Amino acid sequence: MSVVALYPGTFDPITLGHVHLVERASLLFDKIVLSVAESPNKKPLFDLEKRVELARKATAHLDNVEVTGFSGLLAPFARKHGAKVLLRGLRAVADFEYELQLANMNRALEPELDSIFMTPVERFSYVSSTLVREVARLGGDIDQFVPPDVAHAFKEAYQN
C-alpha cells in the first residue's frame, strides 16, 4: 500500500526549514503532496501561482514530491489526493496548541486522516515565513533562510 502525506501551508515564502522537513518526510512516505494554500485572509506577499512555482523549484530534487495549490477545506482536498497523513511542522511549544486544534478538526472532518508532527533541526528552529518576510522588507539578507529562487523573488518584489 502506498502512503501519501499532505504537507499543507501558505508557504509565503517556502523556507529552507520547510524544504528540510519535506526532504526528511520524503524518506518516510511514498509520496508527499506539498499543498500551497491560497490563504487570502493572511494577505500573502506572493500570489498563489508564484508560491507554487517557488515551492516546485525548491523541491525539484525530490522525485516523490508533488506541489499543488489549493483553496477551501483541507480534509476534502486530502481525500481527493488519497492522503492518509497530514504532515505538520512544530517549531516550538507555542505551535502545539493551534496544531492540535487543527489536527482534531481535520480528524472530525475526515476520520481516516492522521496528523504527524515533525520538528525542525536546530538551525531552522527559529525560521518562519513571517520573520523572513519582515527581514526582507527591512532590507536584511535572507539568503541563509530561503532557497536562492525565493531570495531572488524577494529582491524583485522589493525593487518595485
133 is catalytic: no
Q: Cα-Cα-Cα-Cα dihedral of 71, 59, 155, 142, to 10°?
A: 110
Give 4-159's CATH code, choosing from 3.40.50.300, 3.40.50.620, 3.40.1160.10, 1.10.600.10.
Answer: 3.40.50.620
80 is catalytic: no
Instruction: Write down the domain spans for the chain.
Output: 4-159
Q: What is the pTM of this model?
A: 0.93
91 is catalytic: yes
42 is catalytic: yes
Task: Tell me the mean pLDDT in the region 69-97.
Answer: 90
CB burial string 46-82: b at 16+ within 10 A, e below: bebebbbbbbbbbbeebebbebebbeeebbebbbebe
**Marked catalytic residue, from 26, 51, 129, 133:** 129
**Marked catalytic residue, from 42, 61, 123, 152:** 42
The grid coordinates of residue 14 equal: 517556502
The Cα–Cα gap between 79 and 76 comes to: 5
User: pLDDT by residue (tens digit) across 55-81?
Assistant: 999 999 999 999 999 999 999 999 999
Mean per-residue pLDDT over the chain, rounded: 93
